[in-house]
Structure 1
């Protein structure tokens, strides 16, 4: 390590005091600016001068307790990845083979030789996580590098650089050759060091560090944070926060920790920067303006409501036995902790950890609900605005006897074990998602207040109902980590307009480091980002400048339309032709949005007014500026404000010389009629948009997309012939004519998953127990749920399309949903997909010919005033339906599913204290006009009757096909509809549930 690396921030340290404001190499008064029009044109071509790069970021945190000699261990655990006890480790830890494990120093030998002059990690240990050259950025956060309990240290008006020098010397000696110190900051006992590899260091820009003291008097540095902001590749902002929050296990200390975190977030400010696109940012940034943030350190959150001795006894079961040889020879070192053998028989059948009540997995899961940090996140009091944490699969990191591997505090104080040391992270996407949810809650609250101000009571039909005691419950936004699911990279849109990929690879503690009363921990993240290549950017800059200069010499309005040919990383890769001169949307399926961007630049020297005009169309396309499957959204308002939309032909936009306007083209096929034409091959997704410039030339923008066949709009007789693998497997060929299913497999899959997901939604509600929270228990106030539900978030607009995609490809439904979506929302989407599928059946479940026979019989009996009993009427109906066996089987399957869902809802309500106790307290009936006095006096039976009536009304609309409806009077239509509802309701009711 060069000598100047350790002194990179000496000037900062000399001037830094507790609570100081930012220091960096960038002067706030020297921020370059460029002409906006050139900047936007350059930005439009950013894909040409950026290249993807990968970097692993290792974040380490350790409270060193102000002890001497602890710096000897830093290289072994932080750089080399050693000191991990695999049997007690966390995510991403590799198990050693038998030979390596046997060569490792035993626990007793390790503890016996422990001194302050040599590393305490086991000799002959190996790396269990990513280490050395595999890491591009090493980020080390230390707490208590000095004794912060000392009044001399806590009130010191300056920071002693010798402390940081000692640590930097040890880290530099352990790092591979070529690593450089790129950022450092110290605040009394807090120290933050960031090192970059030779390959990453040239891409680190705009470094700014700062500190915030929250200790004595809310300002001093015995508690607080040191923070650094760096920009990778001129495109990706990273923020690292190393903090030490208030200690103590009482409620006041907990509230002070939350206050500390809030102060750090609000008071941290970095220097202003010029981002990758040379756009002057102006004022300095704070926490929340970055693309990726990492908050780590001794957060001091404890285990609430559990005696320390009880926790210690639970955990000691696992710590005293992880060295077999020592377990036979060493006695306990405290009353309830030590090393004693409890090995199972070698012939015993291994039990999965999640099923073994004695496993470490089970013990940790039993303690985590008591973790104060998670509780405060759920309550919305701290770290709730998008912050996440990897799965905790390691023992609490505090408080151990110094010099012992697994002995919890055996001193007189006997402090309770806790996960005080944590590493949290947050992406721009997760923070944005939190902000949207908060905005929705606030809007709902305001609308509720407005309605109440108008005199509407709770019994009225209120669309927005806000309860401050339940709405916005942060429990709804917290999801436990799914250990059964392999981690997938998260796609994160950045502030600079790129899409990065982010993945947590490992998260663990180093149990075999014994020089402090805290165990160090680290997390390794993999980041894929786009980096600006300076030489390419310079060439593009010159090219764009020359083109703008040429256009400025022309007097007529002139615009240039640039198509962004890059495919969004949110989409599946498809076969797009990079040589196509228009907009290629690639493979398109029902209900799945495809987005492409175009940039329109005024490359003349006079204002240019433009708009889309009538395009060439075929007989299957209506006239207009845009085809029905396309939406175009400009980033600016049109020239004249009117009631017109961006789809009107008279909508025009004016660009000043060298100005640009970005537009998003969104293709989405969600019309059943369009799906039918595309399936039949009588229509296509090829078109041409015409951009007309006033007094200039027209620009033609070709559009094309490749339609993926869908099972929608196909008859039951065709669907039952589609083989396993779905319609996509046929690759455009017709089925071989062999009947493979008694019921269309797509309908069977939808009904099966709908039953299962309904059960999960009810079970989740039963576990959460939020009484009166109507937002999460719609069946309590909506008798048509889940087939009639509230409007869904626009962020999930493609979910139904994803479900249909899974049916078409015969694939699992998992990829159709965001990872955070709850079973209730999934149930509603599956219900919507089922109704859509039935609605688009050309011949319906009950075909036109079947209905004509049914209606003829019903009409005859009505005229003769003949009334069959219920069983005879069902038998008569089934005899008619039996003439079309597959339609009959489909009808009975749907009836069975609706009965089961009704039964689940009714049974779930029995144990719910908020369930209606009288028939007058039943849920609303959104789809069927029901006279309450006609319902049973028994609430549970009345509830079933009400649900059946609503379900029958909903499904009568989608299952029956009747001729001549367009010529019928409204009264006759209502009579026909009631007959259809009667048929469905006839089969739904049964004697078993008391509704016969």
Structure 2
């Protein structure tokens, strides 16, 4: 079925003064006429990200910020600002206050030359925005928000990973800054992608999402690694290359660029083709020497700064993108970039005089240039999906018409833009004529969702609307079979399975047969307890973060009853 918006009679527009956001088609015309009613001013913005590894700050960090011209704004994102366990339970701002003082004194010219516009903290993920007192830019509509990811506790997240963000208007241009710390570990690629998608859903108190801004800066310890296992290089060889002027050859193995090219994360965001600095992780603290610990981490560009603009008319240039290797207090190196953003100032009287003409022009365009797109797929079938294991499909949307296309997924009453088990990134976008973009659809069955599901067949119909054009109805299906995770203990007890003679071999001790499992204890729980007994407390390291691949191994062993010895699989 196809539906079109009413292009006639001005779309029911009210006459009078121009108010942005009242009519998207008129807004598009007015954006093209900005030079007729706007003046533009360049503002400089210095963005820096630093994973400080839980360290207490010195009084001052010299060389952290570029020398020379002072920027109008300084945006600082810290990760692992506070690693103390108690902070996850009781809010303790002590580390934040220490780092705030360090940042103030480290800014060019000292603290007296700046004012703090906004801050936001999520445990160790901290963002702060300063404005130079010499800056004439007008700041308004300031908001801050956060999204917690990381370790799950029942239906909540502890927030050891996540994102903090600041939204504001500089003159009449809306800007968003996002500082994030994504999942760590070489095997946690999909978890990092999922963290990005979770943070992308962030909404500020005024209702704006990340993608509603004219310009977005997204930075932090994104934790994407190098897939050098696909090369013939050893870890030592990678380190030698990373230490030499040949380091750019390593970037073709960068996970972030690979995932971005595939349309899974950071669609539409920009970054230099190759970062002009060596990998920023992992170093021995106090040195520029690669990690010499037992883990011997492979070097990687974990720390990044990316940027995005909603419209081609938004002028944003990067003047420098670099790491600061001489800073030695952490196992990461800080990264910084300086941007020049053209911000507009609206002459409201001139805009009001243009309004009637803009309405007529919008009507003419609507009648002549209906938006048209092609989709790489019009229905999405995920097949079988599993508990806590993301599954992603990518749809490519190409603008095949003669006008710019704005699309969004329609919010349905009491249902949102999609079912709870589905995520869409991005939920809306702008596609210039002849260009394409990709949206990723991800099925993720977490605990709270699994508990609510009443049917194993997951179905939804997404409604993608082209502004002043047709609606596309995209069916999405998946098959979810509840197994040993994501169900209640009562459901586990009702499960049936083939009995086995020998569950786990305890060596010289007495054998434990499955028939000895008490009738009121689920078989899977019994097997896990037996495996823990066999491993023993001495072999368990509760400080080690277990990646998703280990969870999948254990889940498959429990569901398929093979291998019998869970302790052997987990300890590998």
Q: Same fold (TM over 0.5)?
A: yes
Task: Indicate conservation of the 8 Å contact 1:145/1:190, yes or no.
Answer: yes
Secondary structure at the residue paired with 2:147?
A: strand
Structure with more relative contact order (C-alpha pairs < 8 Å, separation 6 or more): 2
Rounded to whole Å, the distance in 2 between the matches of 1:379 and 1:60 is 27
In structure 2, distance between residues paired with 1:227 and 1:263: 13
* Equivalence for 2:283: 400
Is 1:310 the counterpart of 2:298 in the alignment? no
Deviation at 1:312, TM superposition (A): 4.1
> Paired residue for 2:363, among 606, 629, 634?
634
| Rounded Cα–Cα distance in structure 2 between residues aligned with 1:377 and 1:54 | 29
Give the 3 Å change call, closer, same or farther, for CA 71–412 of structure 1 in structure 2. farther
Residue 794 (structure 1) aligns with: 402
The change in CA–CA distance for 1:37 and 1:794 in structure 2 (over 3 A counts) is closer
Q: Decide whether the 8 Å contact of 2:275 with 2:321 is kept in 1.
A: yes
1:501-580 alignment runs, 5 A limit: 501-532=315-346, 537=348, 540=349
Partner of 2:310: 428
Change (3 A) 1:168 1:69: closer
Alpha-carbon separation, structure 2, partners of 1:261 and 1:187: 16
Q: CA deviation at 1:41?
A: 8.2
Return structure 1 stretches of 4+ with deviation > 4 angstroms: 41-49, 790-793, 818-822
State the distance in 1 between where 2:433 and 2:235 align. Answer: 33
Contact kept? 2:316, 2:340, Cα under 8 Å: yes
Q: CA deviation at 1:381?
A: 2.0
SS at match of 1:263: helix
Higher percent of residues as strand: 2
1:151 aligns with 2:85: yes
Q: Report which of the two structures shows the higher radius of gyration computed on alpha carbons.
A: 1
Partner residue in 2 for 1:419:
301
Q: Is the 8 A contact 1:315 1:395 kept in 2?
A: no
Number of aligned residue pairs: 353
**CA 1:316–1:141: 2 relative to 1, 3 Å:** same
Deviations along 1:242-283, one digit per CA (max 9) or x if unpaired, are 111111111xx11111111111111x11122xxxxxxxxxxx
SS in 2 for 1:225: strand
Is structure 2 residue 99 aligned with structure 1 residue 78? Answer: no
Q: Which residue of 1 aligns with 2:42?
A: 54
- CA RMSD of the aligned region, Å? 3.7
Higher helix share: 1
| 1:212 and 1:219 in contact (8 A); partners too | no
Contact 1:308 1:417 survives alignment (8 Å): no
Q: 1:72 to 1:646 in 2, by over 3 A?
A: closer
**Alignment CA distance shift 1:220-1:819 (3 Å):** same
Unpaired stretches in structure 1, ≥5 consecutive residues: 1-34, 82-126, 273-283, 320-358, 430-491, 494-499, 545-561, 565-596, 602-631, 638-644, 648-774, 776-789, 797-817, 823-996
Deviations 1:44-87 (A, max 9, x none): 797676421111111100000012335632xx2333x2xxxxxx
Change (3 A) 1:161 1:312: same
Identify unmatched segments of 5+ residues in structure 2: 1-12, 21-26, 370-395, 405-431, 437-572
TM alignment of 1:215-294, pairs within 5 A: 215-217=150-152, 219-233=157-171, 235-250=172-187, 253-266=188-201, 268-272=202-206, 284-294=207-217
CA contact (8 A) 1:502 1:527 kept: yes
- Paired residue for 1:165? 97
Which of these residues, 2, 16, 23, is aligned with residue 38 of structure 1? 16
Do the aligned partners of 1:633 and 1:646 also contact (CA within 8 Å) in 2? no
In 1, Cα distance between equivalents of 2:343 and 2:399: 35
Structure 1 residues 820 and 793: alpha-carbon distance in aligned structure 2, compared to 1, 3 A threshold: closer
**How far apart, CA to CA, are the structure 2 residues paired with 1:227 and 1:170?**
21
1:598 aligns with 2:481: no
Tell me if the contact between 2:57 and 2:99 (Cα under 8 Å) persists in the aligned partners. no
The whole-number CA distance in structure 1 between the counterparts of 2:127 and 2:242 is 33
Structure 1 residue 378: deviation in Å? 2.1
After superposition, where does 1:730-769 map in structure 2 within 5 Å?
A: none
Within 5 Å, give how 1:551-700 maps onto structure 2. 598-599=357-358, 634=363
Normalised TM-score (structure 2): 0.55
Q: Distance in 1 between matches of 2:242 and 2:137?
A: 46
Check 1:203–1:41 CA distance in 2 against 1; reply closer, same or farther (3 A cut): closer
- Residues 289 and 635 from structure 1, CA distance in 2 versus in 1: closer, same or farther, beyond 3 angstroms? farther
